[in-house]
Amino acid sequence: MDKIRERFERLKRQLKRKFNKNKKSKNKTKNRKRPQPGPKKKRPQVRERAESTREEPRIKPRQKEESVRTSGTINKKRKKKKITKEEFEKRKKKKRKESIIEIIKFMLPVVLFAIFVFFFILNTSPHMVDGDSMKPTLLNGDRVIVRRTKEPKRYEVITFKPPVKSEFQYVKRIIGMPGDLVWTEGSDLFINHQAESLPKASELSAANELPDGTIKVNLSEDSLEQMSQLKKIPKGHYFVLGDNRNNSSDSRTFGLVDGLAIEGVVSFRFAPFNNISWIK
């Protein structure tokens, strides 16, 4: 009996505890303040929330970009203002150098091709004029191109190895061609390429009228010995003179020039640059 009573009392206690707990929880809910009646605020819908959250990050980077752009433009303006005269001149020099380099790159293949054509295809060679014997046609220091394959004609300028001791080649103009009539009177030589026969003895005097196309020159003793024995200029030989007759060593002093000694015909002057021209 005692045991049963003890169990019964325990159950009572447990029920009382549960009952007390339920009362406390109900009292707490009752003590909470209820919201006062008033206009209810509408909660934003799901779409409105999404739009607001999307719009906010869009606005902020744009403002930053604008600020960055404005600051960049200001910095550029400041940089332009800070450029000094020395820096400006340096930039100009750099641009000039770049343009010169571009011109050289463009002209170099053209020049190389021209050199190839002149020296290998046309069989030419360069020469420098030394002396004033060809004034005013050629001046001292002029650089010319000689065509070695061209056969010389009357009044053309040629380069040749002279029949005298010399380390250099001579530059002269052809006056007498093979087959031209020649005769002498005293120390004077007469050359005519139009006449078919020599004039009569009475017409050889320098005081008389000479046949049309006759050229008269004064010879040295060595040249006179050679020319006085001829009636015509022999085949393969030429009589040459310098354009500056008062300062020229030519056929008047050393006689005729052998065609085998002729290197070629002067055709073009390529230097100095302010006097580039074809030679006639």
Measured CA to CA, the distance from residue 180 to residue 174 in angstroms comes to 12
Residues 172 and 219 in one domain: yes
Lowest-confidence region among 6-20, 121-135, 196-210: 196-210
Q: What is the pLDDT of residues 20-39, one digit of tens each?
A: 766 666 665 555 555 555 55
Same domain, 161 and 268: yes
Q: Over pLDDT 90: what percentage of the chain?
A: 39
Note whether 272 and 171 are same-domain residues. yes
Domain co-membership, 271 together with 139: yes
Domain end (from 75, 94, 121): 121
Q: Is residue 94 part of a domain?
A: yes
Whether residue 142 lies inside any domain: the answer is yes
Domain count for the chain? 2
Structural domain boundaries, residue 260: 128-278
Does residue 65 sit within a domain? no
Whether residue 272 has a cis bond before it, omega within 30° of 0 = yes
**In a domain? residue 156:** yes
**Percent of the chain whose pLDDT exceeds 70:** 71
* Same-domain pairing of 272 and 231: yes
Residues 218-256 have pLDDT tens digits of 999 999 999 999 999 999 999 999 999 999 999 999 999
Residues 239, 217, single domain; the answer is: yes
| pLDDT at 171 (0 to 100) | 96
Specify the pairing of strand 257-258 against strand 262-271.
Answer: unpaired
Measured CA to CA, the distance from residue 167 to residue 189 in angstroms comes to 29
Q: Are 156 and 234 members of one domain?
A: yes
| 277 given a catalytic annotation | no
Residue 69 lies in a domain: no
Question: Whole-angstrom Cα distance, residue 278 to residue 267?
Answer: 6
**Is residue 207 a part of any domain in this protein?**
yes
Tell me which of 102, 121, 140 is where a domain ends.
121
Residues 183 and 158 occupy one common structural domain: yes
Q: Give the HSE-up count for residue 20: Cα atoms under 13 Å, Cβ half-sphere.
A: 6
- The verdict on 142 and 220 lying in the same domain is yes
Q: What 3-state class would DSSP assign to 161?
A: coil
Grade residue 67 by pLDDT with cuts at 50, 70 and 90: low
Active site residue 97: no
Least confident window among 3-7, 128-132, 191-195? 3-7
Has residue 214 got a pLDDT over 50?
yes
Catalytic residue selected from 26, 71, 92, 133: 133
Task: Assess whether 113 and 149 both reside in one domain.
Answer: no
Q: What is the pLDDT of residues 175-208, one digit of tens each?
A: 999 999 999 988 999 999 888 777 776 555 555 6
Predicted local confidence at residue 48, as pLDDT: 47
Q: Is 149:123 a contact under the CB 8 Å cutoff?
A: yes
E-assigned strand segments in the chain? 124-128, 143-147, 157-160, 170-176, 181-185, 188-192, 215-218, 237-241, 257-258, 262-271, 277-278
Q: Which residue has the higher pLDDT, 104 or 53?
A: 104
Q: Give the closest residue to 177 by CA, choosing from 98, 249, 238.
A: 238
Question: Residue 174 belongs to a domain with what CATH number?
Answer: 2.10.109.10
Domain boundary among 68, 99, 121: 121
Please give the Cα distance from 224 to 270 (Å, whole number). Answer: 38
Catalytic residue among 25, 76, 81, 172: 172
- Cβ contacts of residue 215 below 8 Å, gap of 6+? 175, 176, 190, 191, 192
* 173, 220: one domain: yes
- So what's the pLDDT on residue 227? 94
* Cα Rg of the chain (Å, integer): 57
